[in-house]
Amino acid sequence: MAITKVKGTYDSFDELQKKYQALEEKIRMVCHIFNYDEIKTPIMEYSELFHRTVGETSDLVKKETYDFLDRGDRSVTLRPEGTAGVVRSYIENKMYANNSISKLFYIGPMFRYERPQKGRYRQFHQFGVEAFGSSDPLMDAEVISLAVTIIKAFALKGIKVHLNSLGDEESRENYRRALVEHFSKYRETLCEDCKMRLEKNPLRILDCKVDKEKEAFKNVPNIYDYLSPSSKERFDKVISYLKAMNIDYIIDPMLVRGLDYYTHTIFEIEANIEGFGAQNIMCGGGRYDNLVSDLGGPQTPGMGFAFGLERLLAAVEASGRTLYKKRGIHLFIITLGDNAKAEGMRLLNDMRFGGLITEIDYKNGNLKQQFKASEKYDPQYIAILGEDELKNNTINLKIKATNEQHTIYLDDLYDYIVNDINNRMSNYSCGGSCSGSCDSCGCDGSCEEE
């Protein structure tokens, strides 16, 4: 029997991979504009990292990590999220040394042993950012605005930004007490997990999908009432900056996030993707001012978020946007005879060196078979090189757009094609500035649609 992919994983190739490429290209562009630098950290980390950061009582660590002992009996985990590894790297590489701001982003695979369904995988991909070194509320607003800019870059509609504050330690302690008092009255009605959460991490009860509709969830204390004056003031500042940037949000006092490291501002971005149910949350993040010090680094505030790329792509597609347009190649070279083949290989290399996407037949076909082979690539030009042409140092060039055919000198082939492309591009409204690649101007590629 053929071996299949592991449950909850998928292969990305062909169109899907091109879509992810386009997605990542735009993400990198936005990060570049916001002046965030890319970081790559290992896919596996020592298990302890996630136990100490994500939290022992979180579902993620309790039920969802891929843990294994390596051949040296060390406990290693496939990263379930990106923040912990980036913080570990930030400390290990002493990025804090000059006391400056570090603004980092990453794109890569994450692993969670969850029940696979639409929008939920066991290997999925996150694009995330982490900004270190500022506890100023304006950093919260910048990070949120970066996430919102991603949404805008893909022109997604029906998006909601949910916002909340967990406050400082004192606020969270007061709120924890209020929650214990409240939920203790309903203890017997709670699910087994929530009974445990009541003892260990009552905030996590608010995240429970099982108990959500129960009586216990009516009149839950509102965290805002338990924020210390300075936490409240801080949160109000975040809100005022978001308002200044025209960012819409919903204050959601029930939002707690599933990871233990958050302090103060937390947020999630909800997309409206039909059939995705609870998997509509495509981005989550917040501030984590104690994480660096908890992991042995100096006291350094941090703030970040992560998008699930699969959900982001689903949202882009649900909004009817095309991420990339199938594009033909520039040139296909047909050769007839052995001598022409060697010259064809020289041309192939030269054309590619000059930036023209060029293909050739790899199956030693006759003329008809080579024309057939060219169809797959949808070339703008087909160049035919036979023994006669070779003798005369010429080549036959078919121009797809006009159906014309010209005999030109071999040495002129490259310039001829480039000039022809440029001439045709200058007829479009973009004047060719999109490199022949935008929908709106009539070019034949996939440049930005705003």
310 near ligand HAM, rule: CB under 6 A? yes
**Residue 114 binding ligand HAM, by CB under 6 A:** yes
130 binds ligand HAM (CB under 6 A): yes
Candidates 36-44, 190-198, 276-284, 405-413; binding stretch for ligand HAM (CB under 6 A): 276-284
Q: Strand, coil or helix: what is 408?
A: strand
Q: What is the spatial distance between Cα 120 and Cα 117, in angstroms, rounded to a whole number?
A: 5
- Using CB under 6 A as the binding criterion, the count of chain residues that bind ligand HAM stands at 26
**Smallest distance from ligand HAM to CB 17, Å:** 17
Q: CB within 8 A of 402, min separation 6: which ones?
A: none
Q: What H or E segment, with its residue span, contains residue 233?
A: helix 229-244
Question: Taking contact as CB under 6 A, which single stretch among the options 31-39, 77-85, 163-171, 234-242 is the one that binds ligand HAM?
Answer: 77-85
285 is a contact residue toward ligand HAM (CB under 6 A): yes
Q: By CB under 6 A, which span of 12-20, 199-207, 307-315, 372-380 interacts with ligand HAM?
A: 307-315
Lookup: tokens for 47: 């298990």
If one asks whether residue 301 binds ligand HAM (CB under 6 A), the answer comes out as no
Instruction: Give the type of residue at 224.
Output: Y
Q: Which of 196, 220, 281, 408 binds ligand HAM (CB under 6 A)?
A: 281
Strands 44-46 and 123-132: unpaired
Helix (H, G, I), strand (E, B), or coil: what is residue 111? strand
Q: Choose the stretch contacting ligand HAM; rule: CB under 6 A; options: 20-28, 75-83, 175-183, 313-321.
A: 75-83
**3-state SS class at 132:** strand
With CB under 6 A as the contact rule, the residue among 202, 304, 344, 379 that binds ligand HAM is: 304
CB 331, min distance to ligand HAM, A? 40
**What x/- string results for residues 205 through 244 when contact with ligand HAM is judged by CB under 6 A?**
----------------------------------------
Residue from 82, 133, 301, 436 touching ligand HAM (CB under 6 A): that is 82
For ligand HAM, which is the closer residue by CB, 302 or 379?
A: 302
Applying CB under 6 A, among 276, 305, 332, 416 the residue interacting with ligand HAM is 305
**∠ at Cα 16 (14, 17), nearest 5°?**
70
Which structure tokens are listed for 182? 């409240």
Cα 390 → chain centroid: 50
Closest distance between ligand HAM and the C-beta of residue 311, in Å? 4
Give strand ranges (E) for 79-216. 102-111, 123-132, 160-165
Closest approach, Cβ 109 to ligand HAM, in A, equals: 11
Q: Which residue has the tokens 């993400």?
A: 27
C-alpha dihedral, 183 to 186 to 190 to 196, nearest 10° = 50
Burial of 37 (0-12, 13-18, 19+ CB in 10 A): exposed
Binds ligand HAM by CB under 6 A, chosen from 85, 133, 137, 308: 308
Using CB under 6 A as the binding rule, whether residue 20 contacts ligand HAM is answered as: no
- State the number of CA atoms in the 13 A half-sphere of 25 facing the CB: 11
- 256: nearest Cα among 299, 296, 201, 310: 201
Does the footprint of ligand HAM cover residue 124 (CB under 6 A)? Answer: yes
The contact set with ligand HAM (CB under 6 A) reads 81-83, 112, 114, 120-121, 124, 126, 128, 130, 258-259, 281-286, 304-308, 310-311
